[in-house]
Structure 1
């Protein structure tokens, strides 16, 4: 038995906003546009959204202060802007950070008595309507119920709620054409991590495995080509599709141990999220192969062996220029990871000593 739930209406392809903006009409009358300083403008996504809002005679206000790994104070600030401006729907434009922030802000505006910390309690059942427009091909946040935020103490953690699912998303691969080589790599590798982790999760289903396999295949066949041809729209389209599919996978399964291992490395050492996650995949998978080998069937169907998969990760360069971790940080990180929910859905046995070993193996 399995179930599948993903209520987001997806529009994928060239000029999808221009051709389908009427689906925004019923969502509200005044939008809060949540984004960062640059990507929405540079990609052309903001221009397309504003054109659509004008045609629909909608009002809007722009909150463009979102940074990578958005912190609680930024979310509270976005909430205040939305409440002061009386917005009734939210549009997130950008990578995972603006999209995750837009979801959190939509819930807080609809439940103005809540603090950011209370989002993790799940004691709410309504959010403002949400529209997502990704400008990267990595997080898949445009099709998930997750939002990952960073506390003022530097702890990165996600929360999940069905009201967090976007109502509509517009995925136009042309918005990713201006991504640098480094961002193209780390975002695509994040999508790969989502697909692989979803396939090994104890929550995986037949449907999620089908999507995971296709996502892994698309990334294997298109990532290197895209890195060598950054302005090739076909490769960008396939990576955007892979990211969307991987997001749909983790919407069913959640992520597993590599994500938990990577969070603190991102926050404290500045290693980008996709890289910080994927560097742990080979050694986690090796332990799973010993204890639960069938869980690697999806990955091996595409790469044939773990060795080939690790060679691929080496070839695209994710292990280059990693920092050296302090011993006290490895201990602290390990004690945090072992308590995370990610451990429970990873199909192998991991002790705190195993976790420390994983850090040491990658950062030796």
Structure 2
């Protein structure tokens, strides 16, 4: 068994100010954010306050959209290089953090293209990274992963120990302004990470312990948060659950639900977390057929795999309006079969079984 998580993770209210000196891991920062969330949550203001206190210059790149593209990270690379930035501060949900990680590698390796990121042999250095999540979902603040959308529209992830953030600050106060729909989709993204971690062929005793706690927190507190969005105590529980889930997939990676969900996000516009979570009960049922011990933790928490489905239904995961043509169904299924996620999923999955997964979500 191997457990490796080199990120220094600080947690608590106003935690940035309690450990502000550790944010200073270079002489000039590029702050990578989306257009609004970092500002609305107060995280950007707090970061700038710390940088000003230590007289650290910075540039702010705020053009990261949902599902970051090659174009977005290339622009960030140019800004970082032109301004001689030597560390990255990524603030936001998964998209700004993943973009920040990509920029950290590209700015340290000017000859690389985004396509080169997917082969770790192409680089051995990256700018240091500070990560500050403003959502409770991706866990990117503690993972060696980043996901980009390629020019052909496909989402692909890359992994490198170089993009584990050096230091991350987890403060639930940055999450109280999240809308109900964003709260749901990000929380079930974290739930997907932990459930997939348990089902994964790469699961370990330690990753299962982290996953069990993460799932329990989401099961108990997501419904409460959805009914009381600015409750800091409930937000705290989801924030912890999300980081625990990130620690899980840092060891196990993700499995089939993520690959199935990517097609729904890219082609049907459903947000990533929701698009992934809709497949969880159906993949778990398939896994149980060949590896029944893998689902025991889920059955303990939810009562049964049907209980997992009912929980997801209760938080509106199955509220959507999508349909597929036969051509889309064939294309989606073939793309999933070619993904690495299938190999990491216990059970026997062929093209027809993958098609069956997509058909199941249409019958709900």
How many angstroms apart in 2 are the aligned matches of 1:321 and 1:214? Answer: 29
Q: Does the 8 Å CA contact 1:212/1:298 hold for their aligned counterparts?
A: no
The Cα shift of 1:290 comes to: 1.3
The Cα shift of 1:328 comes to: 1.1
Deviation string for 1:228-285 (max 9, x for gaps)?
Answer: 0001001000000000000000000000000000111101111000000000111111
2:19 partner SS: helix
Match of residue 315 from structure 1 = 314
TM-score normalised per structure 1? 0.98
1:157 partner SS: strand
Match of residue 168 from structure 1 = 167
How many angstroms apart in 2 are the aligned matches of 1:333 and 1:340? Answer: 11
The Cα shift of 1:302 comes to: 1.5
Q: Please tell me whether residue 356 in structure 1 is matched to residue 352 in structure 2.
A: no
Deviates more, 1:142-151 or 1:300-309: 300-309
Match of residue 100 from structure 2 = 102
Match of residue 289 from structure 2 = 290
- Runs of 4+ in structure 1 deviating by more than 2 angstroms, as ranges, are none
How many angstroms apart in 2 are the aligned matches of 1:96 and 1:113? Answer: 26
How many angstroms apart in 1 are the aligned matches of 2:90 and 2:151? Answer: 22
Match of residue 127 from structure 2 = 128
How many angstroms apart in 1 are the aligned matches of 2:70 and 2:247? Answer: 26
Q: Cα RMSD between the aligned structures? A: 0.7
Deviates more, 1:104-113 or 1:316-325: 316-325
How many angstroms apart in 1 are the aligned matches of 2:329 and 2:59? Answer: 43
Question: Can you give the 5+ residue segments of structure 1 that lack an aligned partner in the other structure?
Answer: none
How many angstroms apart in 1 are the aligned matches of 2:92 and 2:266? Answer: 20
The Cα shift of 1:313 comes to: 0.6
Q: Please tell me whether residue 333 in structure 1 is matched to residue 349 in structure 2.
A: no
How many angstroms apart in 2 are the aligned matches of 1:168 and 1:54? Answer: 19
Q: Please tell me whether residue 248 in structure 1 is matched to residue 247 in structure 2.
A: yes
The Cα shift of 1:326 comes to: 2.2
How many angstroms apart in 2 are the aligned matches of 1:220 and 1:331? Answer: 34
The Cα shift of 1:23 comes to: 0.5
Q: Does the 8 Å CA contact 1:292/1:348 hold for their aligned counterparts?
A: yes
> Which of 87, 90, 115 is the matching residue for 1:89?
87
The Cα shift of 1:198 comes to: 0.4
Deviation string for 1:161-181 (max 9, x for gaps)?
Answer: 000100000010010000000
Deviates more, 1:215-224 or 1:354-363: 354-363
TM-score normalised per structure 2? 0.98
How many angstroms apart in 1 are the aligned matches of 2:325 and 2:257? Answer: 19
> Which of 53, 56, 74 is the matching residue for 1:55?
53
Match of residue 64 from structure 1 = 62
> Which of 23, 28, 38 is the matching residue for 1:40?
38
Match of residue 117 from structure 1 = 115
How many angstroms apart in 1 are the aligned matches of 2:74 and 2:324? Answer: 32
Deviates more, 1:320-329 or 1:6-15: 320-329
The Cα shift of 1:56 comes to: 1.2
